[in-house]
Amino acid sequence: MSEQIIVKEKISVVKKGEVYTYRVSRRETEGTELMKTRLGVIFSTDFLNRWKKRFVIIPLTSKKIEKIYNYEAPTLVNNIKGKVLLDQIRTVNKSRLLKYEGKLTKEEMKEIYTKFMELFNIWDYLEEEGYF
């Protein structure tokens, strides 16, 4: 099975919510961790992104989109339905970002925030600490 070759484009400013093709080496993954060149949405804050070195990224997939689990959220990128995989969140070096693909909508990002808060029990923590 041959992998499509993607020529790296010059990427200057990276912002939260943008979608990029990024590279993950097979040598760096084990078990069910995602590997290969794939799409991912930038999740690190623009405050952190301004240093232009490392970015928190959430992988996207267009496989098995008929079922959305509580750690996934639906997306539409370049007219392709998919979903983010919040249980596969990782930090990547800027050199792994290959190509800008688009930006998620405000509604898609809101759902990702909500799922993130649920996945890491942040709502429970905030309630226990009296924030609401």
Helix (H, G, I), strand (E, B) or coil at 104: coil
Please indicate, yes or no, if residue 102 is contained in any of the structural domains.
Answer: yes
pLDDT for 74-91, tens place per residue? 999 999 999 999 999 999
Does residue 4 lie in a domain region? no
Residue 46 counted as domain residue: yes
- What is the CATH classification number for the domain harbouring 36? 2.30.30.110
d(CA 50, CA 2): 35
Summarised one tens digit per residue, pLDDT across range 1-51 is 445 556 667 788 899 999 999 988 766 655 655 557 889 999 999 999 988
Query: How high is the pLDDT of residue 105?
Result: 97
Q: Which domain holds residue 93?
A: 18-128
Structural domain includes residue 3: no
Residue 9 resides in a domain: no
60 SS3 class: strand
Does any domain span residue 99?
yes
11, part of any domain: no
pLDDT at 104 over 80: yes
Inside any domain, residue 95: yes
Q: How many structural domains compose the chain?
A: 1
Counting DSSP H helices and E strands in the chain, the numbers are 3, 7
